[in-house]
Structure 1
Amino acid sequence: MANRAAPALVLRSGDREELARITRSTSVRAGLAQRARIVLAAADGEANERIAVRVGVSKVTVLQWRKRYADHGIAGLDDQARSGRPRRIDHRKIVATTLKAPPTKYGVTHWSSRLLGQHLGIGNKTVATAWREYGVQPWRSETFKFSTDPELVAKVTDVVGLYLAPPENAIVLCVDEKSQIQALDRTQKMLPMQPGLPERRTHDYVRHGTSTLFAALEIATGKVTGACKPRHRHQEFLAFLKQVARAYPTGELHLVMDNYATHKKAEVRDWLDANPRIHVHFTPTSGSWLNLVEVWFGIIERQAIHRGTFGSVKDLNAKIRAFVNGWNDRCRPFVWTKTADQILKKANRQTTSNTDH
């Protein structure tokens, strides 16, 4: 008597659509998609032998996945935990050792996976696996600076409040100097960019002196008032303040600046006292990042100075002035978004975290 075909596999409610999705997905494992095709074919009443031939497996495999689905549904199609030797190496121990400085006998500042593996008597791949699991990256290093200014809260609140809600009919200017800008010239002519080739320059250069750029950034428009000076003493700074006052002859001026000694010189204070329409707001100690002109200094460095070639300080100054003029033709407002509370909350969190460690 011939064997009769197995009865059609009964699918649970909603499983047909999910099984069909699995078979079409490009992100699921190939084995899971294959099992879903077996179950769907069995649900359509197809004979086990034909399913095995079409899917490319044995009849025993078809019977196995029919039973697993019947017993556990779609969840039964996943791989079960494999038997094997349990992990003998504690990843926490690897990470704990990583967080400690290497012994002085190694003469290194931080661990590499090979050195730590040698130190612990394990493979470097095991070390790398533990690092990935815990998000440890010994080869990376970042900088930080916590302000110790006793007036931190008041100064942050003052400067940020000025950015977010400036006084009516007042002009807010961020003032600072970018000192020691080098007039560097390459020893040979640069080779211009070509299709398939970047711009190329010699690795060595000739120094032709330095210049200091004083700048005042108007945050409402992005306009910059600038001046190049040979030095950055209080005399040059005071001369620049007078230039800014001439550029804005009427109305209140609110100047944001850092705590550089030049900015607090007696001569500068006396001049400010004699010009009551000009108000100064100091950023906290080690908090010059609050001064938006620092952002603009980064822009001119990247776009005009870093890759520039200058045959003399005069040439450097001329190109800086050309950039400032071009910038003012296309400038846009500088918009501050963080509130003082958000900044102080983050600073407190970082300080607490640093203390805990």
Structure 2
Amino acid sequence: MLELYTDPPDDTTVVCADELGPVIPRAFPSAPGWSPDGHGVKSDVDYSRGPEKTWVYGGLRVRDGQEITCTASSRNSVCYQRFLQLVEDDNPEGEIVIVTDNLSSHNGKSTREWLVDHPRIRHAFIPVAACWLNLQESWWRLFRRAALAGQSFAGPDDIDHATRVATAQLNSRAKPWVWGRPPPPPGKLRRRFGYLL
């Protein structure tokens, strides 16, 4: 598994894929303050798990840090296959290895049949309870901060718009993802002062 990150085969694109969600339209309380009539501003949190939940599919291309995202109303094989098609269209040459978890929509009969017609794509499933092996999980952390933190969404269209904007912003400053901890930056030697009493 780690060889895909540290020494990928020639003419192979490694993409880490995962789903985030459900992201639910909700409104957060407004900032503390006073209304014109002298009362404290109050706003109830609007939170529901109704039919408007949205899933965000994401795929991180490890070699250059570019991300592909799309939103869907469900987490199922059809939406996953639509996401895989986006990944394939974005990587027109060579083999594509998708690093992902062994979810039923990733490994179900429908998806396996779809993959027969798309032989350039193959899956590399991470072991159970080892989500830290999927670099997409780290990218979700950046995405949550850029797109979702403290935001109010009126509906799925707002979530889709926030997803597209945040993905474009993060892709504009993307760098290759390297497995492992980076070496510490070289520090400047500090002067050591001796005090005599």
Shift of 1:161: 0.9
Quote the offset at 1:293 in angstroms.
Answer: 0.3
The normalised TM-score by structure 1 is: 0.45
The SS at the match of 1:279 is: strand
Q: In the TM superposition, what is the alpha-carbon distance from 1:183 to its structure 2 partner?
A: 1.8
Q: How far apart are the structure 1 equivalents of 2:69 and 2:96?
A: 16
Amino-acid identity (%)? 26
Alignment match, 1:269? 112
1:18-51: CA deviation from partner (whole Å, max 9, x where unpaired): xxxxxxxxxxxxxxxxxxxxxxxxxxxxxxxxxx
Counterpart in the other structure of 2:17: 175
Aligned-pair distance for 1:270? 1.3
The answer to whether the Cα contact below 8 Å between 2:18 and 2:101 also exists between their aligned partners in 1 is: yes
Q: CA deviation at 1:202?
A: 6.3
Corresponding residue for residue 239 of structure 1: 82
Aligned twin of 2:70: 227
Change (3 A) 1:202 1:219: farther
For residue 273 of structure 1, report the CA deviation from its aligned partner: 2.4
TM-score by length of 2: 0.80
TM-fit CA distance, 1:252: 1.1
Matches of 2:70 and 2:146 in 1, distance apart? 18
The structure with the greater share of residues assigned to strand is 2
Question: Which position in structure 2 is the counterpart of 1:283?
Answer: 126
CA contact 1:186–1:206 (8 Å) conserved in 2: yes
Which runs of 5 or more structure 2 residues have no equivalent in the other structure? 34-40, 182-197
For residue 60 of structure 2, what is the aligned residue in structure 1?
217
Q: Does 1:162 align with 2:17?
A: no
Question: Where does structure 1 lack aligned partners over 5 or more consecutive residues?
Answer: 1-158, 193-200, 339-357
For the pair 1:301 / 2:141, whether they are aligned, the reply is no
Partner SS, residue 328 of structure 1: helix
Q: Distance in 2 between matches of 1:202 and 1:241?
A: 44
Q: Which has the larger radius of gyration?
A: 1
Contact 2:28-2:150 at 8 Å conserved across structures: no
In structure 2, the partner of 1:205 is 45
Secondary structure of 1:183's counterpart equals coil
SS at match of 1:269: helix
Q: Point out the more displaced range, 267-276 or 204-213.
A: 204-213
Deviation, 1:280, is: 1.1
- In structure 2, the partner of 1:184 is 26
Contact 1:174/1:291, CA 8 A, preserved across alignment: yes
Q: CA deviation at 1:261?
A: 1.1
Q: Alpha carbons of 1:186 and 1:282: their partners in 2 closer, same or farther (altered >3 Å)?
A: same
Task: Give the number of aligned pairs.
Answer: 171
How much has 1:302 moved relative to structure 2? 2.2
Shift of 1:203: 7.5
Structure-to-structure mapping, 1:119-138, within 5 angstroms: none
Report the secondary structure of 1:185's partner residue.
coil
State the one-letter code of the partner of 1:251: G
Decide which structure has greater helix share. 1
Alignment of 1:59-70 (within 5 A): none
Q: Give the counterpart letter for 1:210 in structure 2.
A: K
Counterpart residue number, 1:312: 155
Whole-angstrom CA distance in 2 between matches of 1:321 and 1:308 = 15
Aligned amino acid, residue 316 of structure 1: I
* Aligned-residue CA RMSD (Å): 2.0
